[in-house]
Each structure stands twice: as structure tokens, then as C-alpha cells.
Amino acid sequence: MHSQRCERNQGLRKTILYISGLRIFPSTTGSQVRTAGIAAALARLGHRVLVYSLAGRQGDYRLDKGLFAALKSPFRTDVIDTDLSEETNLGLGYGVLQAVGRRLDYPRVWQHRLMARGFIPRRLKAHLLDADIVLCDMAWCPPIPGPWRSKPWLLVSHNLDFRLLEQGTPRQRRFAGWMRSVESAAPANYQDILACAEEDHDFFRQHDASRQLLLPVVRCGVDPRAYATPPGTRERLRAELGLIDADTLLVFSGSGFGPNLEALAALRAFARTEAGFLAQSRIHILVLGSVSATAWREGAISATGRVPDVAPYFAAADAGLNPITRGSGANVKLFEYLAARLPVISTKFGVRGTQLEPEADFLLLDVETPRGALERFVTQRTREQWRAHAEEVWLRHRSTCDIGELVRDAIGRLPQFAA
């Protein structure tokens, strides 16, 4: 408690407005985990933080609970923690546009254009007037014209979105050039940018004509406290999954994002081809989160669908799988594995944006022949030895994985927080 009080008393207290496109809490995707982690870290540092989300989730607009309530009171407020709350706009305008855009596989171009022209809810305007600093979550949230433009506006980058669009569906690829121009102009439109990895840092630096931006890197770290579980969690959940102590459980966590879906397809194919090996080695693969819309089981591989909390599943697991081969930015799942003290089995691409080294920090996974890495995992060390190894890896890399430390270091460099 004493260390927490010391943390909260650092620096000057600011009123921070953090604008997001979609409701953040509770977090169900890697992007939301990072946004929530940054917001919570700022609050723990003593700032008053309001996350303003322009649209809710599908369940927020259900006919039996959301539609008529939205017409009467078109917003919801959630108190997350001391000095941290989230207000979600439930007005039908943004909600319908969000739903239609997703149904048509249309990127959030509409959101960017509305905000850039000042078409925003009245309550957001009031919050903008009250804020000392405005954070924009990803380039889809541009600075909003109005009297608040004289305040510091900072972009929180999660990746380079134009690279994701380039790798997306044909409709998404149509907007990659437009998004590249938006992100190229970002250094001129914001007072500074919090990058998530060297890739976006270098891109923004290349387009920073003023050479005045500091561009601190806030990697896709997580709050390690979120992955602590009560005693007995591992045993209880493994029993629910039908596992005994001799079984090895590997977890693959992710959202319904293209690279995750491709990795899932490859894992399912591997589980079918190597069913005998997996059964003999007593290896089970658990697919966790919205990367699978429903729960299912196919031999040694099974899926949970969306879950309210990943921490108990991490506690039940023996290692984290990261078979990703494309994308942009960094994988939040990797930082979650580390914070949960899970050994990591990953492709080289999967650890981009980190300082992790193969062998010393993780087992290198070849997606063409994944069996080799899994065989090494079950034979190279005992479970206790792997747990000790995972603890060593976390301690070695904590400064680049703990979102609280990353945010504290970043804002300590930014004059907007000192003025």
C-alpha cells in the first residue's frame, strides 16, 4: 500500500480524456487489454482518467435492455477503479454505423470522418472542455476541431493500421492507402505519439518533419496483477477441462483477427495430422477467446469461445502458444503469457516488438513442423523447471512488459504531463 501511495503522488495531477472507438471494459481483445492497461496505469500514477467510448458492444443495444434505455439515457458510465471510469456513448447513430460497418466488413473510415468534422456527442464535447490532456486510441480517432484543439492531443498507436488493412479482405485493402496517408500525417496532427513497437515508432519518426516528437515506446505490456489467481484455481479448472496432472495443456489466446484465424486453422490441421503424437504425449491445446465464436472439441484441440476472464485458463495451462506469422505491432497475448508466468512457444514473428531471444526466453516454433517444439517442451524440462524458467524470463524482461512501468517511463519524458 505504501508503494502504491508513492506511485500515485508522482508528478502533477491531470484530467485525462482517453477517446476510444468501442467500449473497453471489460477487455476481451488484445487491443482493449492494452488500452485498459494504459488507462489504469495513468490512474495509478495519480491522474483522473475518463475513457470515452464512442460506441457500445452488441449486447448494449439489445431490444430487451438497450434500445429503449438508449433512447431515454443514451450513455452508460462504469466506475472501474479509483480515478478511472468509462463512459460509453449508446446513441443509436454511432451504434448503428458501427454495426453496419462490421456487417459489411467496412473499416472505421466513417468514424474518422465524423470525428474529423466535429460530429460527436454533446457529452464528449463537455468532457473535451474539462480535459487537460486528450489521448486518441489509434489513428481511427483523429483530433476533433473545436476550442479544445489548443490542448495537448496525443495518439496512442497499437500498430500501423494501414499494414493491417493491406493484409485484410479485398474491401479492407481498398482503404490501406487512405489509412497510410492518415498515419503519415499523424506526427503533424498530434503533440506526440505513444508507439507500441519499433515498427510504428520508425514509421512516425520518418514522417515527423518537425523532428520535435519524442515518440516514447509503450509496448503492449500488461498489468501483472490481473493474472494472479486464488489458490486452487489451476486444479479446479483442469478438473473442469477433464485433465489430470500428467496432461500438458498449451493455451492459444486470441481474438477473431485474421492472423489469429489463420493460426487457428493451422493448429486444427496439425491436431488432425498428429493426433497420435498428441495423444501419446498427452498434449492438449486449448483455444481461448473470440478467435473461435463457439466452444468445440476435436481430439486434442478444443475451444472455449469468448470468456469473461483469461487468467484462470492461464493458471491451468503449462505453456502459451503464439503461432502467429503475420500482422502489425506486437501480440498482447505474448505479454499476457509472460505476466502469467507461462513458458512461451512462439514463432520468431510472434515475438516481434520484444527483446525475447529464442532458447534463452522462448521455444522457437516452426509453423510448418510444430511437432518439434512441442516434443522439446514435454521432454526438455520438467513442469517445475519450466515454471522456474518462466519466472526468470518475466523478471529479466519485466521493465519492457509491465504496462505500469512502461507508462510511467513514457509520460516521465513528455512535457505535456509536466506542465
CATH number reported for the structural domain that contains residue 204 in this entry: 3.40.50.2000
For residue 241, what are the domain limits? Answer: 225-400
Across 360-378, average pLDDT: 96
Of residues 78 and 102, more confidently modeled: 78
Half-sphere exposure of 149 (CA within 13 A, CB side): 11
Number of domains in the chain: 2
Q: pLDDT digit string (tens) for 26-44?
A: 998 888 999 999 999 999 9
Nearest to 268 by CA among 345, 367, 194, 350: 367
C-alpha cell at 79: 466506475
Split at pLDDT 50, 70, 90, the class of 68 is low
Mean of pLDDT over the chain: 92
Under DSSP, the state recorded for 293 is S
**What was the pLDDT predicted at 257?**
81
Among 51-55, 269-273, 325-329, the range scoring the smallest mean pLDDT is 325-329
Across 229-244, average pLDDT: 96
- Asked if the model's pLDDT at residue 64 lies above 70, the reply is no
**Same domain for 391 and 372:** yes
**Same domain for 289 and 273:** yes
**Can you tell me the distance from the alpha carbon of 386 to that of 378, in angstroms, rounded to the nearest whole number?**
10
Q: How many residues does the chain have?
A: 419
- Asked if the model's pLDDT at residue 5 lies above 80, the reply is no
**Can you tell me the distance from the alpha carbon of 196 to that of 216, in angstroms, rounded to the nearest whole number?**
9
Q: Are 26 and 37 contacting, i.e. CB atoms less than 8 angstroms apart?
A: no
Split at pLDDT 50, 70, 90, the class of 66 is very low
**Same domain for 246 and 216:** no
**Can you tell me the distance from the alpha carbon of 408 to that of 221, in angstroms, rounded to the nearest whole number?**
12
- Asked if the model's pLDDT at residue 293 lies above 70, the reply is yes
**Can you tell me the distance from the alpha carbon of 419 to that of 94, in angstroms, rounded to the nearest whole number?**
35
**What was the pLDDT predicted at 69?**
52
**Can you tell me the distance from the alpha carbon of 312 to that of 272, in angstroms, rounded to the nearest whole number?**
27
**Same domain for 408 and 395:** no
**What was the pLDDT predicted at 147?**
97
- Asked if the model's pLDDT at residue 63 lies above 70, the reply is no
Split at pLDDT 50, 70, 90, the class of 62 is low
156: left (phi over 0), alpha (psi -120 to 50) or beta: beta
Split at pLDDT 50, 70, 90, the class of 285 is very high
**Same domain for 369 and 355:** yes
**Same domain for 153 and 184:** yes
- Asked if the model's pLDDT at residue 310 lies above 90, the reply is yes
Across 348-377, average pLDDT: 94
**Can you tell me the distance from the alpha carbon of 30 to that of 60, in angstroms, rounded to the nearest whole number?**
21
Q: pLDDT digit string (tens) for 130-173?
A: 999 999 999 999 999 999 999 999 999 999 999 989 988 899 99
**Same domain for 300 and 152:** no
**What was the pLDDT predicted at 404?**
96
- Asked if the model's pLDDT at residue 298 lies above 60, the reply is yes
- Asked if the model's pLDDT at residue 11 lies above 70, the reply is no
Residue 282 CB neighbour total at 10 angstroms: 14
**What was the pLDDT predicted at 328?**
72
**Same domain for 128 and 88:** yes
Q: pLDDT digit string (tens) for 265-275?
A: 999 999 999 99
Across 296-313, average pLDDT: 94
**Same domain for 406 and 374:** no
- Asked if the model's pLDDT at residue 108 lies above 80, the reply is yes
**What was the pLDDT predicted at 354?**
86
Q: Are strands 15-20 and 48-53 parallel, antiparallel or unpaired?
A: parallel
**Same domain for 292 and 248:** yes
Across 249-259, average pLDDT: 91
**What was the pLDDT predicted at 327?**
83
Q: pLDDT digit string (tens) for 187-227?
A: 999 999 999 989 999 999 999 999 999 999 999 899 999 99
Across 244-270, average pLDDT: 93
**Same domain for 313 and 295:** yes
**What was the pLDDT predicted at 9?**
44
Mark out the alpha helices in 57-139 (DSSP H runs): 67-72, 92-103, 109-116, 122-130
Nearest to 58 by CA among 109, 99, 94: 99
**3-state secondary structure at position 37:** helix
Write phi, then psi, for 322 (nearest 5 degrees): -140, 80
**What was the pLDDT predicted at 314?**
97
**What was the pLDDT predicted at 70?**
52
Beta bridge partners of 297: 302
**Same domain for 159 and 280:** no
